[in-house]
Amino acid sequence: MMQGERVLVTGIGMITALGLDLETNWTNIKDGRSGITNIRLFDASESQTRVAAQVPPEFEELAAGMIRKRSSDQMTRVTRMCYVCARQAVEHAGLDFSVLDRDRCAVILGVVSTGNTSAERGTTPQNRVLKSMSNAMSAWISLEYKITGPNFTLASACASSAYALGLGFDMIRTGQADIVIVGGADSIINKEEIEGFNEIYALCTDNDKPEKASRPFSKNRDGFVPGEGAGILILESATSAKKRNARVWAEIAGYALTSEAYNIMAPEKDGDGIARTIRRALQNAAVKPEDVQYINAHGTSTTLNDKYETMAIKQVFGEHAYRIPVSSSKSMIGHTIGAAGVIELGITIMAMNQGVIPPTINLDEPDPELDLDYVPNQSRPARLSCAISNSFAFGGHNAVLVVKTYAE
């Protein structure tokens, strides 16, 4: 493990189908509530998939109170989610950029799409370019706080924001920045992308009971449920956090990013690529397998991911795998695509701080092949000091983040 500045999390922002702020999200997640409903963002009556985890409609009222109308008109709905979420995270961290060296601050976001799709409203020739810019989300945040350090976006499909967290970690660890605003936002809830994912048999098509549609690790799982949302973490060097007496929510101990180079859609057979990533992350964090007390799984509710992720966990942890609680937040908030990594790491950090492991809901019919402790249907109390969060993606992109409680 490379030595350098310790990397701390001092602020969290979160917007999902379960709430427009961190506190509401956490309450609903620990209570095992589902945010999945019938699709309302477009007419899905002819679609194979007619359910999704959509951000509450009250979001637009919240955004209107935080964003000037001219700027809002130049943003997509997804960009507005990211902007509002960043404002929440900055406030949560108690940051005052007027007294900080803005050259030593950065913005890094994982973005698959800006959301300028057929479901977007108000696109005109005058704002089409601004709405479509892949760097728009990070640019708006940089403009808001006059951040003059690096400001960019990256894309690695469903691992995008996890990749962004890894790069933010490196910037602080190597002394290139004191504070990095890291995260992402995404939505694939539009006619074309739903149809596309249906064509490759990736989505759930069980529409009768929306709240039961996402069933990670269940025998009767039949695909992921599309979600949407935004997540932002404030990463900060220990030196900076101590100087301003900031509250520390967790320490990012290390991470790993790998490419399977196996198949454009399917994970490597038997979970070998996933296992390799987990091992590298633990090595990077100087954490022993037996020290891991919780895994926030990628857990998509697809046949292959849940099978191979389980196999990978067994490969890495051996008998200890059966003693580690593993749960999937996607059972409640759907798959938020590029935003999934940061949202799920935020949930992991809240679990560590609140002493509660969130459940995998809808696990009513266990798959006999998948025999780990998936925290079925109910959260449970636990004292956690070390956890990992997994994110995997089409294209063979794997990311694993390791977090610990912080002790000086």
- Do 211 and 314 have their domain in common? no
Tell me whether residue 376 is in a domain: yes
Tell me whether residue 73 is in a domain: yes
Amino acid occupying residue 316: V
Tell me whether residue 216 is in a domain: yes
Q: How many domains does the chain have?
A: 2
- Interior angle at CA 153, CA 151 and CA 159, nearest 5: 140
β-pairing, 294-296 vs 386-393, is parallel
Tell me whether residue 157 is in a domain: yes
- pLDDT for residue 8: 98
β-pairing, 179-187 vs 36-38, is unpaired
- Do 106 and 228 have their domain in common? yes
pLDDT band at 258 (very low <50, low <70, confident <90, very high): very high
- Do 219 and 271 have their domain in common? no
- Do 128 and 210 have their domain in common? yes
**Partners of 287 in the β-ladder:** none
Residues recognised as catalytic? 158, 298, 335
- Do 267 and 369 have their domain in common? yes
For 115-148, how does the pLDDT look when each residue is reduced to its tens digit (9 = 90+)? 888 888 888 888 999 999 999 999 999 999 999 9
How far is Cα of residue 69 from the mean position of the Cα atoms in its chain? 28
Q: Can you say whether the dihedral through the CA atoms of 196, 199, 203, 209 is positive or negative?
A: positive
Query: Mean pLDDT score of the chain, rounded to an integer?
Result: 97
Tell me whether residue 31 is in a domain: yes
- Do 213 and 267 have their domain in common? no
- Do 382 and 277 have their domain in common? yes
CATH number, domain containing residue 216: 3.40.47.10
For 279-300, how does the pLDDT look when each residue is reduced to its tens digit (9 = 90+)? 999 999 999 999 999 999 999 9
- Do 97 and 51 have their domain in common? yes
- pLDDT for residue 113: 87
Tell me whether residue 249 is in a domain: no
Tell me whether residue 2 is in a domain: no
- Do 202 and 308 have their domain in common? no
Whether the pTM exceeds 0.95: the reply is yes
* Segments forming the whole domain that contains residue 177: 7-243
